[in-house]
Chain A
Amino acid sequence: MSKYVFFILALSSISALALITIFIISRGAPIIGEVGFFDFVFGMTWAPGRGEYGIFPMIVGSVTVTLGAAALGVPIGICCSIFMTEFAPAALRNFFRPAIQLLAGIPSVVYGFWGLIFIVPLIREYLGGPGLSILAGAVILAIMILPTVISITEVSILALPPEYKAGAMALGLNHWQAIKTVLLPAAKSGIVAAVILGIGRAIGETMAVIMVLGNAVALPQSILDPVRTLTTNIGIEMGYASGTQSQALFATGIVLFAVIMLLNAAAQFITRKK
């Protein structure tokens, strides 16, 4: 008896995902049909006033900001998890873990705000340009993906049997060699999943990057140029959009949703393969 009650509750995640998919697609798909898939995705001009909906600059924006965030955040994140699992004294580890939790818990708008008043002026002053830029977004997102990268990497390193390290060190490798040649390769699938989920988090972030990216709809020429991403496009225009413009924002959401689902599936596939 109770089994069926629980089964019905368990259908919630399926129905939630189905509802989200159906409603986003049904609202956004018509405009893609109207504009044409190719013109929508590769169109260079986003001008709702003239009925032109091309999101290619935003795709470029999302990709560059995310790659920048991954380039900065992933190595630091992996170093942090090695630190926590291998080098940190117990006391420090016990301090580190809740600190990373706090890092994950701080509202994204607070990071964005901090970027706006601290990182943006720094870039403007020392590197030139308007400051509101790909670089500023990448720095903020790099910080924001750290908890994801650190915790998943840490878990996958901790899940390794202790014999791996003992065996490697028994063969005369020093600690670092053991980490580099045995532990990290053995934890590879977990680390790759961590990176993919970190990237997913970076692509999906909205409010923090709205504040630091400058939001110009144009192809950036350098990392010091302002850009608009898929998420910020939605976040900025949802407030006043109506009619076809609103539909175009849902269409942007479809593209974002598809990219994220692909990344999720990849991460799940990689971790499951083990």
Chain B
Amino acid sequence: MGLNAKNKKARSKERAAKILIWSAAVSVMAVLFFIVVYILVKGLPVVSIGFLTEIPSNMGRSGGISSTIVGTVLITLVAVAIAAPFGIGTAFYLAEYTRESIVTRIIRFCAESLAGIPSIVYGLFGFIFFVIYLGFGYSVLSGGLTLAFMILPTIIRTSEEAIKTVPNIYREVSMSLGASKWQTIYKVVFPSALRGIANGIVLSIGRSIAETAAVIYTAGSVLRMPSSMFSSSRTMAVHFFILASEGISMENAFGTAALLVILIFFINVVVNMLVNRFIAKGR
């Protein structure tokens, strides 16, 4: 009798908890779905071939967004090209060349701290260091380098995790066949970890494209087509921010936002799927 009542109470509590948890999950999905659909419904009608290929005119009120697409691509390329070697190299050092020591702890602490620094602080730093101190001015180079600092910790962490999942027996086999440490890393560990490393780089590309605060005061907001690494350029995210916050053109803001959302979706989901497909694990 007593036990039964207790069981009943416990069971109704469990039911309540389950309902709460399910509703939290469903509402998060609903909000995500709502945001994405809202942006796409309002924005996609604006997107046309012209929108993609024309240079913005009249502050972005008319014309397309082609120069901001080019700016985004260039800045992201600079960021990844700089951050990837350093990040992957750091990951290999941490995972393959050292045991836990004071040095690795300091490196890890710095990497994790970098990961937590707000993007606006990266923006401040990029402005004072690249734009002013090194004299790169508002430019693709300044913006890309600032983003490189920002995505470095992501690349370090994802690469290190990928390297750690490579079974130790591979290293032993390779060494037992007469390979040096470096040959083992280059011929066995790196190919096996490539998929995870690539996922991390894709993630970083997504973050670079989505970033605003770190690039607006380093790459600037010039709407012209960038002609060199030293041209100031506006990224899609910055363009969207300026259009929306200054109320220049809600229509074009929605169009840009829709493209950004599609691009992010494409990169996070589709590209990662392709990476997983073509860089099969353990092959």
Instruction: Please report A residues at the B interface, Cβ cutoff 8 Å.
Output: 1-3, 5-7, 9-14, 16-17, 19-20, 23-24, 27, 75-76, 79-80, 82-84, 87-88, 96, 98-99, 101-103, 105-114, 116, 118, 143, 146, 174-177, 179-180, 197, 200, 203-207, 210-211, 231, 234-235, 238-239, 249-250, 253, 256-257, 260-261, 263-265, 267-268
B269 to A102, Cβ gap below 8 A?
A: yes
Residue from B25, B153, B156, B240 within 8 A of A110 (CB atoms):
B240
**B18:A176 contact, CB within 8 angstroms:** yes
Bound form: Cα–Cα A211–B244 in Å:
9
Given contacts A87-B18, A253-B120, A260-B118, list 20 more A-B pairs with CB under 8 A: A6-B90, A96-B29, A102-B32, A107-B211, A107-B260, A108-B212, A110-B240, A110-B260, A113-B257, A146-B28, A174-B11, A175-B14, A176-B17, A200-B116, A204-B116, A207-B241, A231-B213, A238-B123, A256-B118, A260-B117
**Contact B25–A235 (Cβ < 8 Å):** no
Report B134 CB to chain A, min CB distance, Å: 11
A107 to B68, CA, bound (A): 15
**B185 at interface (Cβ–Cβ under 8 A)?**
yes
B158 CB, nearest partner CB in chain A, Å: 13
B24 within 8 A of A: yes
B245→A101 contact, CB < 8 A: no
B64-102 contacts to A, CB under 8 A, are 85-87, 89-90, 92-94, 96-97
- Kindly list chain B residues whose C-beta atoms are within 8 Å of the C-beta of A200: 116
Residues on B with C-beta less than 8 A from A103 are: 28, 32
Q: With A1-B182, A110-B261, A207-B213 known to touch, is A79 a contact of B25 (CB < 8 Å)? A: yes
**Chain B neighbourhood of A13, CB < 8 A:** 90, 107, 110-111, 114, 152-153, 156
Provide 27 A-B residue pairs closer than 8 Å at the C-beta atoms, listed in order of the A residue.
A1-B182, A2-B182, A11-B107, A12-B86, A16-B152, A17-B113, A19-B129, A27-B128, A79-B20, A87-B22, A96-B25, A103-B28, A105-B264, A105-B268, A106-B210, A108-B210, A110-B260, A110-B261, A114-B39, A206-B212, A231-B120, A235-B213, A256-B120, A257-B121, A260-B117, A264-B113, A268-B109
* Pick from B125, B182, B245: contact of A210, CB under 8 Å: B245
Interface size class of B (residues with CB under 8 A): 35 or more
**A24 smallest CB distance to B (angstroms):** 6
Question: Which residue of chain B lies nearest to A17 when distances are taken between CB atoms in the complex?
Answer: B110
**B17-40 near A? 1/0 per residue, CB < 8 Å:** 110111011011101100110110
Contacting pair B268 A102 (CB below 8 A): yes
With beta carbons under 8 angstroms apart, the residue of B21, B89, B118 that contacts A83 is B21
| Bound: A267/B113 CA distance, A | 10
- The yes or no answer to B136 lying at the interface (CB within 8 A) is no
Q: How far is the CA of A28 from the CA of B36 in the complex (A)?
A: 39
> Is B18's CB under 8 angstroms from A101's CB?
no
Find residues 146-190 in chain B having any chain A CB closer than 8 Å to their own CB: 149, 152-153, 156, 181-182, 185
Q: Which residues of B contact A106 (CB under 8 A)?
A: 35-36, 210, 260-261, 264
**In the bound complex, what is the Cα–Cα distance between A52 and B119 (angstroms)?**
26
Chain A residues with Cβ below 8 Å from B28 are 76, 80, 103, 146
**Cβ contacts under 8 Å, A231 to chain B:** 118, 120, 213
CA distance A14 to B133 in the complex (A): 20
Q: Which residues on B sit within 8 Å (CB–CB) of A20?
A: 114, 117, 121-122, 125, 149
B119 to chain A, nearest CB (A): 7
Per-residue CB contact flags for chain B residues 253-283 toward chain A (1 = under 8 Å, else 0) read: 1000100110011011100000000000000
